[in-house]
Structure 1
């Protein structure tokens, strides 16, 4: 381990405007896919705002019943997704993260993967009216906009992206396609914020050997040089989970805005050398190195930063600088064995990481 470890810190929470929106809404919050990276970070952010009201306002669902443990020590019972239809009807916002990952698309047949994704989406959609859901945040993927239009695409990335896009369309149909005949009434009753997510940072990050940011930080924590070995330029833009969720909450609470908002996660596009330099700067004595770029192709995977920045400004959500994102992610990884992860010396080139 490197001698320097990021100082203990209180996990920064939701932006103030989003926290106030959440508190004032009084809505029950249902989180699907609660045991994953985004789900756990979301539960922690909600806990920080709701405090003692958390247990009475937040319900967690996932692939099966289990106990989730947050950094505060709070135990959260995750219920199986099929139990969604059994909860009482009351005004609800749903934060939807339940989906089969790209890695599952690599391991399953295309037919089985499509069927499993459609089943998950169908279970959630089938419960919304019954539980009193008014607004949904859908965590989609940048792959949804890049994948071939044909859902029969054979590559795991194409298949994953196509199924993400199909899910987006199904939630849009929920907003406009069912319920009151009046579009005005439908607008008042149902809203959806759909985020096509590219690269995220923050606590609970998983798959340390697959995410470039986690691999670079793991090198620094272990005292290794922070090295990017890709022979081509790799351009990414990172957004903190707390920033993304702050925007999502603001959108869900905006009853006068668009019924459906589809947006891409933004952040400042930068080559991985910039990320490596930012990471290395937090550890005295840790160096960084960028291998020579010999391939003219550019691996570019980032969203529409200008449109995203406009949304942040419109809703009063502050952007989290890259250095701060690195510090918050490192604080998590330093306490969860990241230095032992054999994912360093990044040779990464590929979408979604």
Structure 2
């Protein structure tokens, strides 16, 4: 599957400026590539943790400004893809109050720009962890639920999606995500090592599908209730076997013997995700395609 926006989206965007925050993350990098594929670079404004030039796969260089420069932005009618956020792993590396303050400052910066200049719409994704809010044990989820209410209340189209499992180009945290670990083992022609001694179920959404649904809803002027991403449910051993078949590798999987314990399910709700895709006439990627696209990115871009 091409990492591209659906046909017709460029015309619908017209001259609206594009703002991408969190430009160095998985969704941020994919969004920049996709917007640069249909719009002139000067129409795209990227913000990240530090100032730098970000070179896209087509050779286009996009300047990334620090998020602290966002208040200087003075154009109205922007389409904002807001990915900047200190994720769950940061919560354990700093005092809780610092973590909360930092994320509220990020969100407040984006909100202030929208209130000052208006916007055509905003996409604010979270991980599936936002489904639960617990200040002591899951401050990420509590803050993301705050953001869902914050951006839904600004009077512009707002798309709040909880992304449970993502696949496709620009996958990061290569030693943390199961799909990345499985594919790296297969590309290196070594046994696939799985550590969970209980069933683990995942359902993957292609990064391009997530971004297409978000942009399509904004262009349609919609502010749907918070909804989940969705993908075909698959247990990790089955995922490893499937990836091995697709990549032409022997299904050599090493995993501990099953222990007593409940299965782990990290899956969203299919209904809204499929309904939005159908209404926007978007064909969602199969799990096989997601595996192949992720492997192609890892193999080519990371020289595995």
Question: 1: CA distance between counterparts of 2:65 and 2:90?
Answer: 22
> Structure 1 residue 25 and structure 2 residue 5: aligned?
no
Distance 1:166 1:203, change over 3 A: same
- In the other structure, the counterpart of 2:6 is 15
On the 8 A contact 2:19/2:79 being kept in 1, the answer is yes
- In the other structure, the counterpart of 1:242 is 208
> Structure 1 residue 313 and structure 2 residue 278: aligned?
yes
Picking from 42, 64, 71, the partner of 1:56 is 42
Picking from 209, 228, 232, the partner of 2:198 is 232
SS of the counterpart of 1:297?
A: coil
SS of the counterpart of 1:135?
A: strand
> Structure 1 residue 123 and structure 2 residue 123: aligned?
no
Question: 2: CA distance between counterparts of 1:283 and 1:196?
Answer: 30
Once the two structures are superposed, residues 208-241 of structure 1 have per-residue CA deviations (whole angstroms, 9 ceiling, x without a partner) of 0001110000000100122433111101100001
- In the other structure, the counterpart of 2:26 is 37
Picking from 61, 70, 73, the partner of 1:75 is 61
Question: 1: CA distance between counterparts of 2:119 and 2:192?
Answer: 46
Picking from 279, 292, 299, the partner of 2:243 is 279
On the 8 A contact 1:89/1:130 being kept in 2, the answer is no
- In the other structure, the counterpart of 1:298 is 263
Question: 2: CA distance between counterparts of 1:24 and 1:306?
Answer: 26
- In the other structure, the counterpart of 2:158 is 192
Unaligned runs of 5+ in 2: none
Once the two structures are superposed, residues 107-156 of structure 1 have per-residue CA deviations (whole angstroms, 9 ceiling, x without a partner) of 111111001111111111111133331210001221111333xxx22x3x
Question: 2: CA distance between counterparts of 1:325 and 1:297?
Answer: 27
On the 8 A contact 1:224/1:286 being kept in 2, the answer is no
TM-score calculated relative to the size of structure 1: 0.81
- In the other structure, the counterpart of 2:75 is 89
Picking from 139, 145, 154, the partner of 1:159 is 139
SS of the counterpart of 1:107?
A: coil
> Structure 1 residue 267 and structure 2 residue 231: aligned?
yes
On the 8 A contact 1:65/1:79 being kept in 2, the answer is yes
Picking from 202, 211, 227, the partner of 2:168 is 202
On the 8 A contact 2:184/2:298 being kept in 1, the answer is yes
The answer to which of 268-277 and 115-124 deviates more is 268-277
On the 8 A contact 1:225/1:288 being kept in 2, the answer is yes
On the 8 A contact 1:192/1:261 being kept in 2, the answer is no
Choose between structure 1 and 2 for higher RCO, CA contacts under 8 A separated by at least 6 residues.
1
Runs of 4+ in 1 over 6 A off after TM superposition: none
Question: 1: CA distance between counterparts of 2:276 and 2:44?
Answer: 26
Q: Shift of residue 338 of structure 1?
A: 6.8
Unaligned runs of 5+ in 1: 1-9, 176-189, 340-353
> Structure 1 residue 168 and structure 2 residue 148: aligned?
yes
Picking from 98, 109, 118, the partner of 2:95 is 109
On the 8 A contact 2:51/2:66 being kept in 1, the answer is yes
The Cα RMSD (Å) is 1.7
How many residue pairs align between the two structures? 302
Question: 2: CA distance between counterparts of 1:45 and 1:275?
Answer: 27
